[in-house]
Structure 1
Amino acid sequence: MPSQLEHAMENTMFTFPKFAGDKNYLTKEDLQQLMEKEVPGYMENQKDPMAINPIVKNLEECRDGKVSFEGYLSLITGLTNGCNKYYATR
């Protein structure tokens, strides 16, 4: 039986193609939809709704506006780290 972490990894892996489709990368619009649908609580609780923009810009600089699976993983890792820091200080 898969562990919680294995389920989380599986969900992370299957979420990317759900928004990237056959093109194997996310556009800024794809990424915005992903954030709104998959992490709505994070987006709603942001004090600065534009906080995601610098992250997206950094991801885009390497790929001409295309976010690869590796870039997506970096984003998820960064968001997870930010959430951990938020809850660790509460």
Structure 2
Amino acid sequence: MSKLETAMDTLISVFHTYSEREGDKEKLSKRELKDLLQNELGEFLETQKDASSVDKIMKELDENGDGEVDFQEFVILVASLTVACNSFLSENS
């Protein structure tokens, strides 16, 4: 697989590693999202320091208002963080 195909495969795999822990296997509950953010994006997000940050992220991502984050909503988070990281790295190089 190419690097991009590997990245896509990894993104799908990470999502399902957490979404399959409880409830709907195709969506992240608040607890699953919190675990994913802390374990997989801890370097980019400081969720541990602000107890309400997961609530804020959940509210922003949950476009359909069902209280869960589906794969499409999750990809929006990853894409937004990727754009922010690219901008930060471009400014600091």
The answer to which structure has the higher helix fraction is 1
With over 3 angstroms needed to count, the CA separation of the structure-2 counterparts of 1:51 and 1:84, relative to structure 1, is farther
Show the 5 A alignment for 1:69-80.
Answer: 69-80=71-82
Give, as a single letter, the amino acid of the residue that structure 1 aligns with 2:34: Q
What corresponds to 1:7 in structure 2?
6
Deviations 1:55-87 (A, max 9, x none): 321222523211011101111111111111111
Runs of at least 4 residues off by over 3 Å? 48-55
Matches within 5 A, 1:1-90: 2-21=1-20, 23=24, 24-44=26-46, 49=50, 53-90=55-92
TM-score (norm 2): 0.77
RCO higher in 1 or 2 (8 Å CA, sep ≥ 6)? 1
Q: State the alpha-carbon separation in 2 of the partners of residues 87 and 55 from structure 1.
A: 23
* d(CA) in 1 for partners of 2:88, 2:13: 26
The structure where strand makes up a greater share of residues is 2
CA contact (8 A) 2:27 2:71 kept: yes
Distance change (3 Å), C-alpha of 1:52 and 1:66: closer
Residue identity over aligned pairs, in percent, reads: 29
- Structure 2: segments with no counterpart, 5+ residues: none
Structure 1: how far apart are the matches of 2:6 and 2:30?
Answer: 26
RMSD: 2.3
How much does 1:16 deviate?
Answer: 1.0
